[in-house]
Every structure is written in C-alpha cells, then in structure tokens.
Amino acid sequence: MKFSFAVSLVLFIVVIVATSVLYLALDAMGVFESVNSSLTDLVAAGGENSSTFRITAKGVIGTSALIGAVNVVLFTALATLGAFIYNVCADLVGGIELTLAERD
C-alpha cells in the first residue's frame, strides 16, 4: 500500500506539472483566447445573457488536481487490492518456486 501510494503521489505531481506547462504553452499561443471568444459568440447567438463559461488557468489546473486526487485514492486502493488477491492466489496454487545457486 505504501509503495502504490508513493507511486500515485508522484504521478499526481507529474500530471499537475504537465497540465500547467501545457496550459501555459497553449495560452501563450492564444488558443484559449480564441476558444473563449468563440464561446462568447455562441452564447450571444443563443440569446442568453447569463454568465459565460471561460477557460482559465485556475479552472484547468483545479480540474486536473481534482481528477488527480481521485486517481491517487483509486490507484492506491486498487493496487493494494490487486496485491492482496495475487498473494491469496499464490498461496492457494503454490506459485512458482525458483532457487538460485552458485555453480561449483
């Protein structure tokens, strides 16, 4: 459980950093400005003057963090459960025994 938690935590950090770098690169190219203006035009064409949806850094990185946190919990739980099931099956079946020895 400790190992799977450590791996999932490292993957969580990698996902957050990758999302941040990707967002900054796309924002520097003006992709999100174009998408946000297109969304504003679509909402205005629909006749609704309610609050518009905007893609922001806080929203993108926050969503990534939320999905990553759920992934940490699920990955840790499923890896622990998988290790338990493997150990039970190995005890029942006997598994494969390998003995290493030096040549004389």
Contact present, 39 and 53 (Cβ < 8 Å)? yes
First to last CA, the chain: 41
Query: Which residues have a Cβ under 8 Å from the Cβ of 104 and sit 6 or more positions away?
Result: none
Contact present, 64 and 15 (Cβ < 8 Å)? yes
pLDDT, tens digit only, all 104 positions of the chain? 999 999 999 999 999 999 999 999 999 999 989 988 888 888 777 666 656 678 888 999 999 999 999 999 999 999 999 999 988 888 888 777 667 787 76
Q: What is the pTM of this model?
A: 0.73
38-56 pLDDT per residue, tens: 888 887 776 666 566 788 8
Structural Rg of the chain based on CA atoms = 24
